[in-house]
Structure 1
Amino acid sequence: MQVKTFTGATSQEILARIKAEMGPDAVILGNRTYRKNGAVCHEITAGMERPQTDNSAPAGGVPGGWGEWHKEWQQIKNQLFALMKPAIQLERLTPRQRIALEYLQREGISDAVAVDLYQRLISQPGASVLECLCGMVPVKGWGPAGWDQRLHLMAGPFGFGKTTSALRFALHWRKARPEARIAFINADCLRGSGRLILRHWAELSNFSYLEAPDKAGMEAALRATAEADLIFVDVPGLDRSTTLAQWREEMGLADVAAATHLTLSPYCDAMQTQAFLKRYKSDGPGSLVWTKLDEAVSFGSIVNVAWAAGLPVSALSYGAELKESLSPATEPLVWRLIFKRQLPGQAA
Structure 2
Amino acid sequence: MSTLAPHPPGFQRSVRACRAVAGAVLVATFARLEKVDAAIASFWSRARDTAFVRWDSFEPALVLTTFTLCLLTYWALDECASCPLRAYRLQPIPVAARRERDRDRDRARKTKTRREGDREGEGEGEGGETHEARSREIWTPDFRTRDGFQEFALYLVPLLVFDWLYPRRALPVAPPSTCRLALDVVASLAVYDALFSATHRAMHRHPAVFRRVHAKDFTVWFRSRHTSTPFDSTPDAFRLRPASTPPTPTHAKHHANADVRARDVFRLSAAEEVVDVACSVIAVNITRAHPLSRAVYNVVIVALLCAIHSGYDLPWDLCNLIPGNVFIGSREHVWHHETGRGRYAKFFAVFG
TM range (shorter): under 0.3
More helix by share: 2
Higher strand share: 1
TM-score (norm 2): 0.22
| Bigger relative CO (Cα 8 Å, ≥ 6 apart) | 2
